[in-house]
């Protein structure tokens, strides 16, 4: 089995959505001084590769810990949408989507992850695209961008109120272009919160 890591590394220079606090990963104990090593992490729940839960944008919405583990594991479906903005329902033509599927959009935008334009000029999806995912009961929508839309985040709200979780800031999706079948495992921290960093992998038999 081949495993491909789809997760950005978390460190002190991980970029954040404008207005979010910058991450801090500081060593507070050292082996030479204390006999053991320990680090302190400070981060927004939406830094780096992460998953949005409904409570991110819905009053009294579900948190990540409200979802069963099988929500975060499923058959991956990669859709090559490079150069398309907006991303419309036409991009889903000929693609079979089942309720166990995690849909992944490859825009190529992860190459700009540490550039200012990453959080400004990213491609977005249309409401009709979102409606297809909701109708087919997809588990999750993943993407190599900061999200599926921009302020006021109507598509965020529509997807999350229908329990289609959002997996944002992915990377290495280019490695999946020639792979027809793979499984996505996207396990977030088990937080009773609106989102959490996740380690995301693709497994290829």
Closest CA to 123 of 173, 78, 81, 85: 85
Q: What is the residue whose two structure tokens read 């499984």? A: 183
How far apart, in Å, do the first and last CA atoms of the chain sit?
5
Task: Tell me, yes or no, whether 189 lies in a domain.
Answer: yes
pLDDT in tens, 158-185: 999 999 999 999 999 999 999 999 999 9
pLDDT at position 121, please?
92
Task: Tell me, yes or no, whether 31 lies in a domain.
Answer: no
pLDDT at position 63, please?
97
pLDDT in tens, 106-145: 999 999 999 989 999 999 999 999 999 999 999 999 999 9
Task: Tell me, yes or no, whether 86 lies in a domain.
Answer: yes
User: Is there a contact between 78 and 186 (Cβ–Cβ < 8 Å)?
Assistant: no
pLDDT at position 70, please?
96
What are the b/e assignments for 185-204, b being 16+ CB within 10 Å? bbebeeeeebbbbbebbbeb
User: Is there a contact between 195 and 147 (Cβ–Cβ < 8 Å)?
Assistant: no
Who contacts 54 (Cβ-Cβ below 8 Å, separation ≥6)?
A: 61, 62, 63, 160, 161, 163
pLDDT at position 107, please?
98
Q: What does the alpha-carbon distance between residue 130 and residue 98 come to, in Å, rounded to a whole number?
A: 14
Give the pair of three-digit tokens for residue 76: 């991956």
Q: What does the alpha-carbon distance between residue 186 and residue 198 come to, in Å, rounded to a whole number?
A: 6
Q: CATH code at 121?
A: 3.50.30.50
Task: Tell me, yes or no, whether 87 lies in a domain.
Answer: yes
Q: Name the residue range of residue 72's domain.
A: 2-7+48-204
Structurally, the chain folds into a number of domains equal to: 1
pLDDT in tens, 41-80: 999 999 999 999 999 999 999 999 999 999 999 999 999 9
pLDDT at position 115, please?
95
Task: Tell me, yes or no, whether 68 lies in a domain.
Answer: yes
Task: Tell me, yes or no, whether 128 lies in a domain.
Answer: yes
């Amino acid at each position: 089995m081949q495993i491909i890591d789809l997760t950005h590394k978390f460190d002190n220079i991980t970029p954040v959505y404008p207005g979010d606090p910058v991450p801090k990963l500081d060593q507070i104990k050292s082996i030479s001084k204390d006999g053991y090593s320990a680090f302190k992490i400070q981060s927004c729940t939406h830094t780096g590769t992460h998953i949005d839960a409904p409570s991110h944008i819905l009053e009294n919405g579900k948190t990540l810990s409200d979802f069963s583990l099988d929500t975060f594991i499923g058959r991956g479906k990669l859709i090559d949408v490079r150069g398309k903005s907006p991303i419309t329902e036409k991009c889903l033509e000929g693609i079979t989507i089942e309720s166990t599927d995690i849909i992944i959009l490859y825009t190529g935008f992860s190459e700009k992850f540490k550039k200012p334009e990453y959080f400004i000029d990213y491609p977005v999806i249309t409401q009709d695209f979102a409606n297809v995912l909701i109708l087919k009961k997809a588990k999750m929508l993943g993407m190599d961008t900061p999200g599926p839309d921009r302020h006021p985040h109507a598509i965020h709200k529509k997807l999350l109120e229908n329990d289609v979780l959002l997996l944002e800031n992915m990377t290495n999706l280019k490695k999946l272009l020639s792979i027809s079948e793979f499984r996505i495992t996207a396990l977030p921290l088990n937080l009773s919160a609106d989102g959490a960093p996740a380690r995301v992998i693709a497994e290829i038999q």
